[in-house]
Homo-oligomer: A and B are copies of this chain.
């Protein structure tokens, strides 16, 4: 499969699936491999996503997968863009509704495929599905008179918040699926831990605990999203916006 090559993933993601090899000679296909891999990851997380496991669910040998994908890294790129393809583009309209829509689309994507948040995003090849969704999000904040770098910052802030809260959700969900033990049961089993949560050591936490603050938690996503959008509104409707440039490259 095309050997090693800096641009393998680019072609895989952006180019129209080659010339579908007019004869349906192959029993397996790239799409089927990607689909099976997503199914495995959905059910058991990235940790369980091995080439052997994917092949097994398809009823082929491990090495057969390498006829259709160059390697695991590129398979992940394809999986990520495939699930972006399941989301809807943000429709044109007022900025706040648009950003909320964008956030909710990502949120449901993360809920359906929590393994997305177990992956590094650094140097992952962006695919066309992810990019067109982001482009649509840029569009709804493009008519507010913001500078281009402010447009990027606004959309990025929303994305980063959703990824942040999504990650804790995802880790919880996947831990439950992998172990079969519910979050509550697991923490209850750690009986020796709670003995150390004394009012002298952790006054606020024990107070919050005894007044029931942990029994009726607020929805982290809903609460946080409202706050972030409020904060962006303050910025967007301000007269003179402060400029905060990045100082270092990292």
Chain A residues close to B by CB (< 8 Å): 6-7, 10-11, 14, 118, 120-123, 125-126, 128, 131-132, 134-136, 138-139, 142, 147-153, 156-157, 160-165, 167-169, 171-176, 183-184, 186, 189-193, 196-197, 201-205, 207-208, 211-214, 216-220, 222-224, 226-232, 234-235, 242-247, 249-250
Cα A156 to Cα B121 in complex, Å, equals 23
The 8 A-B residue pairs with the shortest CB-CB distance, nearest first, are A164-B164, A148-B213, A231-B231, A122-B171, A227-B231, A138-B204, A230-B231, A160-B164
Interface contact A172-B250, CB-CB below 8 Å = yes
Count of this chain's copies in the oligomeric assembly: 2
Are A128 and B196 in contact (CB-based, < 8 A)?
yes
Return the contact of A223 from the options B138, B153, B196 (Cβ within 8 A): B153
Min Cβ gap A85→B in Å is 15
Please name 5 pairs of A and B residues whose Cβ atoms are closer than 8 Å in the assembled complex, sorted by A: A121-B168, A122-B174, A125-B190, A148-B212, A226-B235
A122 to B47, CA, bound (A): 14
Residues of B within 8 A of A147 (CB): 213
Residue contact B226 to A228, C-beta cutoff 8 Å: no
- Taking CB atoms, residues of chain B closer than 8 Å to A160 are 161, 164-165, 168, 220, 224
A218, B152: Cβ atoms closer than 8 Å: yes
